[in-house]
Structure 1
Amino acid sequence: MNQSPNSRSAILDESRLWTSPVPYVLEKDLEMNAKGVIMKAFDQFRLKSCIDFKPRDSEDYYISVKKLDGCFSSVGQRKKKKGQVVSIGRFCDEVSTVEHEFLHALGFYHEQSRYDRDNYVNIAFENIKEGFENNFRKQSNETSTTQGVPYDYWSVMHYGKNAFNNGNGSTIITKDPTFQDVIGQRWEMSPSDVLELNLLYKCNSSIAFKMYCGFSNGTMCQMNRCSQGGSGWEMVTHVSGGPRSDHTNLSSGGDHGHDAGYFMHASTASGQEGDSAWLETHKMRHNRECHVQCLQFYYYHSGHKSDHLNIWIREFQDEWDLSGTRRLMGQITGPPTSYWQLKHVSLNVTKHFQVEFEVRKGAGNSSGGFSIDDINLSETDCPHVTMQIDDFENTRSTTLYSPRQYSSGGYAYRVGIALARRSFGLFVQLLSGEYDDKLEWPCPQRQTTFKMLDQNPNIQLQMSKQRSITSDLSTSSINGTYITFDHPKHLEWGHADSSYQWDNPRMIGTPYVDEKNETIFVGPPLGKRFFAYYEDMKSRDFIKGGSAIFVFSFQVEILYHVLKWNQ
């Protein structure tokens, strides 16, 4: 929230717009967790707009990101040679807050500052804390523009209903009461925020490569299909014994959608073992130098447990190469599912490529097959762990754990969800593993990100809620506390002692015996004891077809680059 008088309408003066990529410096006083979160926010700008950011080289004008008293920024470029300050202070280290402040720097006012705001909200000036009235100043249509985009209660640039109140009541009352508890959301930029940003900077495409296919209106998104015996891929609206709706149009309740939509299905009910059906994207090329791509799609398995869905990539030496080289990137098999399931596959290709989906019939008798829908491909990192809870609204008072995972650096860990009666928490625990004697302890500068996924079919339109924590070893714990989950019905904060909570679990952890009869030591749960209320899940597409999805990342790469750029 911008707490200066200079506080979504946008500036009209084009001389105050930045040229992309925008140079920046992350100053040394910033908390390490904030630096990692800023990198994540930059990735969202790259994915959803043509705005990019780069570490400052010798540019005269740049953004200096500091830890000052609060979260604030001036509006538009100010051409200050010592750096234009954006403050990401204490408790500002959330992606939504970083997006909010950088949207200010890119030229946006608050949403409730639009010159047409009186048609949508009432400002209760009598409830505003004395001295803060300027934060509710309305902009003039002579100096700002809405670019024809409707007023957006969901904007990340909107104040909440109680902003700067003096204790006598709300300061903002929405004229449509259904949005009174919506304004001030701090999940992510809204689709309208992104639209206005792209209009202001005349964006034709995003910086990061992006492909989305939801098979809407029966379109194939330039994809080709073929088969080798048996049945091929078909575009359908439902499958006997399989999904009764596409994933795109699933409601927040059961398995039925609002409208019938299309998805792709390959049957394994006929033919011989080994028969296959192929669905391939058009030839694509990455945009960014980092060579990171994430394939995300939903699948429904209604065939036999021996059937396979294989995910291949075919890489080409150049645009004239017609044959390419095929690599298997992932495989789905096993028992059938009763819900659409989310799948992520990391690709990391460096050349021209295609993605190919192959359904291969197994040895058993089948009455169904595999279905896929809502394919997204983006130049972002895939999450490391996905936990999907089906029939979510009827799941309470329990704690769910992922299997043991290994980070790219060799640290063993698991993530979990602690479900209480009205709310839930998300956490990570370090576990003993096979590389413990070769690792650095306490575990340094690793950032864990917890995300409640907005299941909007197009990732460019998603507004997920995410929070991050970092093993900053300048303290003995995260902000002096850590989470203990003694019982799912009784969640408490535990106070840290003098030991590092990110230390070797063999030294500070407690033992348990896993399903393989192996004794594993588990460290304390670290994360967000209160992540969200169940009521929060009823907005957007957090619950879809009865399922809620949580994704987790445990990584060092972002923080490595942060340290490298700011030595």
Structure 2
Amino acid sequence: LGNRWDISVPYELSVNLSVNYKGVIWRAFEQFRLKSCIDFKPRAAEDISYISLESRDGCWSYVGRTFAGAQALSIGDGCGTKAIVEHEFLHALGFWHEQSRYDRDDYLTINFENIITGQEHNFNKYSENQTTTQDTQYDYYSVMHYDKNAFSNGNGSTIITKRPEFQDVIGQRLDLSEYDVIELNKLYKCNSSISFLDHCSFDDESLCQMSVCSAGDYGWQRMKSVSGINVTDHTYLGKEQNGTSFFMHFSTEGRNEGDAAKMESKTMTPKRDCKVQCLQFYYYHSGHESDQLNIWIREYQNEADSRGTLRLMDQITGQSLSWFKYCLHHVPLNANKTFQVVFEVRKGAGNSSGGFSLDDINISETECPHTWQIRDFEKVLNNSVFDTWMYSPLYYSSDGYRFQAGLSVYQNYLSIYVRLVSGVYEDQLQWPCPWRQITFQMLDQNPHLQKRMSSEKSFTSDPSLIYSNVSVWDNPQNTGTQVVIGNETVYVGIFWGYKYAIMKEDLTRREFIKGGDIIFLFTMQGRFCEETDRSQPSCSRTSVVVANQFFNVIICCSNTVVKSC
């Protein structure tokens, strides 16, 4: 147990950190803000002690606040991933390795004969007088745990778990685990979050303080299943259902055109200076294509304002899904004051035999990503031939660059790449595209946003990068290839990314595949500068979202409304 920092930890980024590493560090900060009470702030003149992030030899940190002045934390070559940054910052915040707990011998065995000579100190066990577990259980999933072959001399594993099912779990480098966060919050004596606002899976009869209303004797209903429709709870999809598995459903069957019902969240007040929020939820549309799911926010100007002002933020309509699949949907919000989210279903003109179902709602003060949900991906894995390619919809970054992702399925691994695509803002953009960090995330579909441990990788568009005598990030209108995507003729650049992005064996470690589907999230963000205060989500001058277009892959989605802010 090291000395604690203030909850807002001052830091400074060294000039020798790459642009991409600075962006990865910022993303790690955002995970701490989402999951815990810990925040980070750029060092100010009055901050005597601070963490100096540097690119030295390897990935390492002192444990706790060790001395006054600049305390080094190294993110060296090969260390630039979100989970490694989180690991080193947990050291700086006071954490030793999980396998150094005083009670570790109850949970694992250290094979000292298999450890490289001179590295035995990495497996020290600390007494109760030196460390504290904060009364948390031993965590095989901790981002602070070594893997089974850490510092092995080649003669076998160095760590053997006493429960064999965790032998391949230890050493995960995805994200902070649930118990990492619990222990961190206990250590710093707080239990709030900087950026998380609300979650609801409707498992409790309280509906998470949400209220339902309608014009008649019908409305949103809390259901376990719907008669005549193959729809069940999403929270426990693919798992054994239990007595708490519920979702919300509004039936448009037998209703008159214009009939509507609303469901309103509890009131929430933005805490961050940049008023950006993201609403995400899973929905299933089984009604008529003219039925609507409208998403509003009701914003209150002050405590005397009891009615609030409604603003429409998004609308889902169009052809219902002929298969039972929940779709993940994100809605960017921009509430400046206390607000509620309002879900309204409105009956359209046609005959309906279903309605709208909702589950697993999360709201956070973060920016929304782009979503690519691939239906029945599990079947693709089981039946695909060598080098099966899939292509995402087309996306726009907040500053107008258009791009597309490509996924290639091989026998033992998945490759993920991104390419630029010609769009409507080319004359307004800088070319070659300079220093945009592109991040893809294979989503852990845990229903609770704070408990997810997604797989994530990032890279940055280097404007000087040349491949096969072509500028990778130049205007595709000038250097790309003409193709047809959907009904549109466009120019595309070179795919760039990770060949060994995901090993197939890792797909079963979390809820990466749920109901047969896999979901990828994408962001493309501007350059991260050390002098810029990244303690807030960026306030983009515009946010451009285009209607989903797809090529050679089935996308789980409905019609998308063009939005701007």
TM-score, structure 2 normalization: 0.90
Q: What is the CA–CA distance in structure 1 between the aligned matches of 2:205 and 2:379, rounded to whole Å?
A: 34
The one-letter code matched in structure 1 to 2:420 is L
CA contact (8 A) 1:209 1:287 kept: no
SS of the equivalent of 2:268 reads coil
Does structure 1 residue 155 correspond to structure 2 residue 142? yes
Does structure 1 residue 365 correspond to structure 2 residue 351? yes
| Change over 3 Å in CA distance of 1:221–1:74 after alignment to 2 | same
| CA shift for structure 1 position 564 | 3.1
Q: What is the CA–CA distance in structure 2 between the aligned matches of 1:209 and 1:156, rounded to whole Å?
A: 21
The one-letter code matched in structure 2 to 1:454 is D
SS of the equivalent of 2:350 reads coil
Q: Tell me which moved more, 276-285 or 215-224.
A: 215-224
SS of the equivalent of 1:28 reads coil
SS of the equivalent of 1:512 reads strand
| Change over 3 Å in CA distance of 1:526–1:328 after alignment to 2 | same
- What's 2:210 paired with? 223
SS of the equivalent of 2:367 reads coil
- What's 1:540 paired with? 510
Q: What is the CA–CA distance in structure 2 between the aligned matches of 1:261 and 1:554, rounded to whole Å?
A: 36
Does structure 1 residue 378 correspond to structure 2 residue 364? yes
Q: What is the CA–CA distance in structure 1 between the aligned matches of 2:339 and 2:98, rounded to whole Å?
A: 41
- What's 1:480 paired with? none
- What's 2:275 paired with? 291
Q: Tell me which moved more, 149-158 or 412-421.
A: 412-421
The counterpart of 1:39, out of the listed 16, 20, 26, is 26
The one-letter code matched in structure 2 to 1:359 is V
- What's 2:559 paired with? none
SS of the equivalent of 1:134 reads helix
| Change over 3 Å in CA distance of 1:536–1:163 after alignment to 2 | same
Q: How does 1:283-362 map to 2 (within 5 A)?
A: 283-337=267-321, 338-362=324-348
CA contact (8 A) 1:223 1:280 kept: yes
- What's 1:509 paired with? 480
The counterpart of 2:437, out of the listed 437, 447, 456, is 447
Q: What is the CA–CA distance in structure 2 between the aligned matches of 1:300 and 1:404, rounded to whole Å?
A: 23
SS of the equivalent of 1:135 reads helix
Please list the CA deviations of residues 120-159 of structure 1 after superposition, one character each: whole Å capped at 9, or x if unmatched. Answer: 1111111111111111111111111111111111100000
Q: Tell me which moved more, 310-319 or 390-399.
A: 390-399
Q: What is the CA–CA distance in structure 1 between the aligned matches of 2:174 and 2:132, rounded to whole Å?
A: 25
Does structure 1 residue 67 correspond to structure 2 residue 51? no
Q: How does 1:4-403 map to 2 (within 5 A)?
A: 11=1, 16-58=3-45, 59-81=47-69, 83-229=70-216, 231-251=218-238, 257=241, 261-337=245-321, 338-383=324-369, 385-395=370-380, 396-397=384-385, 398-403=388-393
Give identity over the alignment, percent.
54
Q: Which runs of 5+ in 2 are unaligned?
A: 535-565
Please list the CA deviations of residues 103-128 of structure 1 after superposition, one character each: whole Å capped at 9, or x if unmatched. Answer: 00000000011111111111111111
Q: What is the CA–CA distance in structure 2 between the aligned matches of 1:117 and 1:196, rounded to whole Å?
A: 16
SS of the equivalent of 1:403 reads strand
Please list the CA deviations of residues 328-350 of structure 1 after superposition, one character each: whole Å capped at 9, or x if unmatched. Answer: 11111122222111111110211
The count of aligned residue pairs is 526
| CA shift for structure 1 position 552 | 0.8
Q: What is the CA–CA distance in structure 2 between the aligned matches of 1:543 and 1:131, rounded to whole Å?
A: 42
| CA shift for structure 1 position 178 | 1.0
CA contact (8 A) 1:209 1:288 kept: no
Q: Tell me which moved more, 234-243 or 94-103.
A: 234-243
CA RMSD of aligned residues (A): 1.7
- What's 2:562 paired with? none
TM-score, structure 1 normalization: 0.90
Does structure 1 residue 467 correspond to structure 2 residue 454? no
| CA shift for structure 1 position 562 | 4.2
SS of the equivalent of 2:180 reads helix
| CA shift for structure 1 position 404 | 2.2
| Change over 3 Å in CA distance of 1:267–1:382 after alignment to 2 | same
SS of the equivalent of 2:212 reads strand
